[in-house]
Chain A
């Protein structure tokens, strides 16, 4: 990497990390998690973003040149061919099921029945293979058929191809643009695993009333699974946070949240923080009755995105002294507002929520696709004018946080090496040369199965 790009990368990352850690830095970072605007700013369609990695990358390089003040740009997104290879039913994709300029959309349905909790609780992996995967992966519908074997073979190959695409993106964004990422790796709150891709919102809510003990038991079982998924997909250098979108908490009453949602979610986050990671949590919808719980987690480790329906000024008062906040610009301001209104809003945010640090300028969890470029420019200019703390501070990336994983046997596998070794009756030569790749492939495949929860 060229020296100037290296320096830029270090400075941007340092600024972003300082905000998350509630430490002093030079200015408010411009760091949304999902920069949809960057994907289409150059004129690309949404279909091109998910089906044409080269066009996607070129689009974002164009964006980076036009808006060099932006501090991070997201990497890992959907790659359409992977979804097609397995016939994933949970998404409608632009260019395939939707017009090329529409955004991809989640198809919520009852992919798990109300009476299937016991199997999920007893053996999550068995449940995935017997019940859930055949329902969500169209090509695996007839488990045991030739097509179902092909689905898994293609799915694994597509996953490798996607990994290569994303690695290339990371490399180019880093070396040519000095651009770090807002997050890497992902997981869901255990309740959201149920309420998104398994039971759906209505089903999960009915379960909360009709069989709450099963919901709690299932969430408990999902703690290790989600921690495993998150740790396996996170940045190994822990430079940026692990991503968790919290989809269904906003529908729950405080009492339901406290008993059904929070305990297992908190445990996953404690495992990740204990392992030295930070977390970026999209607090979707209005979290004002729930977000006080973020005070229970270590200070400066969970970046909270405040959504359009949330009140960021209230959030600053209630949790802003303990966790970093991102947000402040509502969707209509980006899409329908004027540059002057944007300038006023950013000024207000810098003078209030931005005070004392721990604030990142963003939209309600993203920069929208249909953002007017002049509004985006006005936002950046206003941050440069009102969002500077101390130009003398030179941000630098923080050292990697130490940590360990004690809570469970990480990484998870279906067939651990010990089982395989016993089947082989021991090995003749250097065991680790055989065992390490075995474990790596086993754990990669295990993660592959669980990634579909998101």
Chain B
């Protein structure tokens, strides 16, 4: 296994930064460094799926990744950031301002090579639809922490279908108050039990 992939997988923060600097100095293309980080993040996700890692490790890995991406940003300008795994529009639905879970999904998706349009929190249906139309994304992620958002999620799903995006766009819901019963109520296509499951679903949809 590549040393950088391994360092990220093992959450060895210092070593990740050292290796990134060393590769930049050696003239390794930023795209290649990103690729190794993507692999590392996938390895972290696998450890989460097998209960070796918990949410705290996911968040830590995503903070390390964010730091690396910030460092690489100027070097990536003008170059394609590698092949895109697909586009995802995501946000916390109207009435809810919580974003810990949503932010984690965003970083993991980016770590897996997706182009993510993060609309933030308290997002009304119209903004989701506008972003889907503008980007042509095939996936919409709806996040919530509060249980009174069920009707709002249902509203967004209905509006997306009405806008004629229903066939093309798959809708995933996630967050603490969601379950299969909530998915059925909202009419969403999928319910993601956690952040890593959500990323796997996106991979399958675009796969």
Name A's B-contacting residues (CB within 8 A): 92, 98-99, 102-103, 105, 107-108, 201-202, 205-206, 208-210, 250-254, 256, 285, 308-309, 330-333, 335-337, 368-370
Contacts and interface: CB of A to CB of B under 8 A. Distances in A.
User: Interface range on chain B: under 10, 10 to 19, 20 to 34, or 35 or more?
Assistant: 20 to 34
Contacts of B55: 250-252
Contacts of B182: 332, 336
Given A205-B59, A252-B56, 20 more contacts: A108-B100, A201-B59, A205-B56, A208-B56, A209-B13, A250-B55, A251-B56, A252-B54, A253-B53, A253-B57, A332-B150, A332-B179, A332-B185, A333-B181, A335-B148, A368-B147, A369-B147, A370-B147, A370-B150, A370-B151
B32 interface: no
A336 B55 CA distance: 28
B137 to A, nearest CB: 26
Contact of B181 (A99, A251, A332, A370): A332
Interface stretch (B69-77, B82-90, B91-99, B112-120): B91-99
B197 interface: no
Contacts of B59: 201-202, 205, 251
B206 interface: no
A337 B181 CA distance: 8
Interface string B36-65: 000000000000000001111101100100
A102 B148 CA distance: 8
A92 B96 CA distance: 10
Given A331-B147, A336-B182, A206 B96 contact: no
A139 B11 CA distance: 41
A102 B55 CA distance: 28
Contacts of A254: 54
Interface string B115-154: 0000000000000000000000000000000111011000
A107 B146 CA distance: 14
Nearest to B100: A201
A337 B59 CA distance: 34
User: For the complex, would chain B's binding face be called helix, strand, loop or mixed by DSSP majority?
Assistant: helix
A208 B98 CA distance: 22
A334 to B, nearest CB: 8
A294 B105 CA distance: 32
B60 to A, nearest CB: 6
B148 A368 contact: yes
Contact of A309 (B54, B151, B176): B176
B100 A105 contact: no
A102 B145 CA distance: 13
Nearest to B11: A209
Q: Which of A103, A202, A308, A331 has the most CB of B within 10 A?
A: A331
B59 to A, nearest CB: 5
B61 to A, nearest CB: 10
A92 B121 CA distance: 13
Contact of B148 (A210, A333, A369): A369
A253 B56 contact: yes
Contacts of A251: 54-56, 59
B56 A105 contact: no
A253 B11 CA distance: 14
